[in-house]
Amino acid sequence: MKIKIGSSILELVQGDITQQDTDAIVNAANRTLLGGGGVDGAIHRTAGPELLAECRTLGGCDTGDAVITRGYKLKARYVIHTVGPVYRGPSPNAERLLKSAYQRSMEVAMAKGIRSVAFPAISTGSYGYPLKDASYVALLTIIDFLWNYSEIKLVRFVLFNQRALEAFETSLKRLNPAES
């Protein structure tokens, strides 16, 4: 599924974030930035040990913030590492922090002159954020950003399985009823 937001494209695909050829891919990291499982583990494995070496120099990242490194052996030139909230039940704070993770990632991308970014579904794996709610917050934040800033021409959500893809498709239809 693909929609236009101003002069930019927002796309939902099923796939593996490590294989994306966008200028940057986003990592669902933790505050240490020293690696982990899920997307984080897969990105570090594909990028190679130089990525961890660069991450060690950064001194961590707060929840809801984002930092950028090179992509090393990845197809993407850059990795934007962001930290989503650990989900402990519905709360305005969890929603605010998830929104912030997407927004800060886009700001960091824009500051580097990046034109295309691929995102995973931040916080929906080990951090336990329900896909239905997380997908809505993710899409609302990105759509809002793309309406306000047109420098980033492509945002691709790369969903790991059919269930995640369907959750994002349902949320996108809710946000953009003309598209079905």
Closer residue to ligand AR6 in complex, CB, 64/125: 125
The single residue among 23, 40, 95, 133 that binds ligand AR6, judged by CB under 6 A, is 40
What is the separation, in whole angstroms, between the first and last Cα of the chain?
Answer: 9
Q: Among 1, 42, 52, 110, which residue sits at the site for ligand AR6 (rule: CB under 6 A)?
A: 42
Q: Give the Cα separation of 6 and 85 in Å (integer).
A: 30
Closest CA to 25 of 109, 103, 97: 109
E strand intervals along 66-153: 66-70, 78-82, 116-119
Query: CB neighbours (10 Å) of residue 75?
Result: 12
120 touches ligand AR6 (CB under 6 A)? yes
Pick out residues in 94-113 that bind ligand AR6 (CB under 6 A): none
Taking CB under 6 A as the binding criterion, the range among 26-34, 66-74, 103-111, 170-178 that sits at the site for ligand AR6 is 26-34
Please state, in angstroms and rounded to a whole number, the distance separating the CA atoms of residues 172 and 33: 30
Segment near ligand AR6 (CB under 6 A); pick from 4-12, 50-58, 106-114, 124-132: 124-132
Question: Which residues of this protein are in contact with ligand AR6, per CB under 6 A?
Answer: 16-18, 28-30, 36-40, 42, 84, 120-127, 158, 160, 164
